Amino acid sequence: MKREEKIPARTIERLAIYRRQLLELKSNRLSHIYSHQLAELANNTPAQVRRDLMIIGCSGGNPKQGYGIDYLLNSINSILDNDKAGQIALVGVGDLGKAILSYSNYQRSTPSVAAAFDIDEEKIGKVIASCKCYPLSEMKTKVKELGITLGIITVPSVYAQKVTDKLVSAGVTGILNFAPATLRVPNNVFVERIDITMEIEKVAYFANEYSRLGK
């Protein structure tokens, strides 16, 4: 693939969303789409869609039919699905962990969760959404064995750093962290944090703001 110019984070996020929408359209046998339609589906503007496509070097649209859906999918895949993307390890098989297992492994999505880990004896050996649960002690070997490069942390905050260290020393280079904790990692490791409590507080704030000032 072309050596791109460094794609903005926001664009990457939107590409993932466009892709899902496009796959759905494709399964409905549609072949073309306009920027304003995709914008509608992704809840943004036509100009934003066109700019994102421009950024990834996608200029196969035409004024009378829009963009070919297959063409867009190929372009987006070539950006998002990097060659040697590894599998995912999920640590912490509580309610949240189970939710992620059962809905990341049923959606069409590379990468997928290849192994789950927990300390609870009860859970070890169980299979949830076709993903087996191992004890933490086996992390290093399983990560190697299954070609895992990413981790999802769904353990209570107190354990989050310990789990992070284990993942990193096993060779993981990307982490999605659901624990409300700031993780220390070497700076070749990418961490994304999802803080649900914070999101709730944010919604509370802006819901109020909207009704005060009418958006």
Partner DNA sequence: TATATAATGTAATCTTATTCACATTAAAGT
Partner DNA sequence: ACTTTAATGTGAATAAGATTACATTATATA
| Contact set with its own copies (CB under 8 A) | 9, 12-13, 16-17, 20, 41-43, 79-80, 82, 84-85, 88, 94-96, 98-100, 102-104, 107, 109, 111, 149-150, 152, 173-176, 180, 182, 187-190, 192, 194-211, 214-215
From the list its own copies, DNA, none, which binds 158 (C-beta under 5 to 8 Å, kind-based)?
Answer: none
Alpha helices by DSSP H, the chain: 9-27, 35-42, 46-55, 69-80, 95-104, 139-146, 157-170, 196-213
From the list its own copies, DNA, none, which binds 175 (C-beta under 5 to 8 Å, kind-based)?
Answer: its own copies
- The end-to-end CA distance of the chain, in Å, is 42
- Work out how close the CB of 135 gets to DNA at its nearest, in angstroms, rounded to a whole number: 39
- Work out how close the CB of 63 gets to its own copies at its nearest, in angstroms, rounded to a whole number: 25
Residues within the interface to DNA (CB under 7 A) = 8-11, 34-36, 44-48, 50-51, 53-54, 58-67
From the list DNA, its own copies, none, which binds 46 (C-beta under 5 to 8 Å, kind-based)?
Answer: DNA
Distance CA 81, CA 16 (A): 10
CA 67 centroid distance within chain:
25
Distance CA 208, CA 145 (A): 50
Task: Judge whether 36 and 80 are in contact, CB under 8 Å.
Answer: no
- Work out how close the CB of 62 gets to its own copies at its nearest, in angstroms, rounded to a whole number: 25
- Work out how close the CB of 101 gets to its own copies at its nearest, in angstroms, rounded to a whole number: 9
- Work out how close the CB of 50 gets to its own copies at its nearest, in angstroms, rounded to a whole number: 18
**C-beta of 50 vs 98, nearer to its own copies:** 98
Distance CA 40, CA 18 (A): 11
CB-CB neighbours of 193 under 10 Å: 15
Distance CA 183, CA 21 (A): 33
Radius of gyration of the chain (CA): 20
**C-beta of 145 vs 209, nearer to its own copies:** 209
Distance CA 154, CA 72 (A): 34
**C-beta of 13 vs 165, nearer to its own copies:** 13
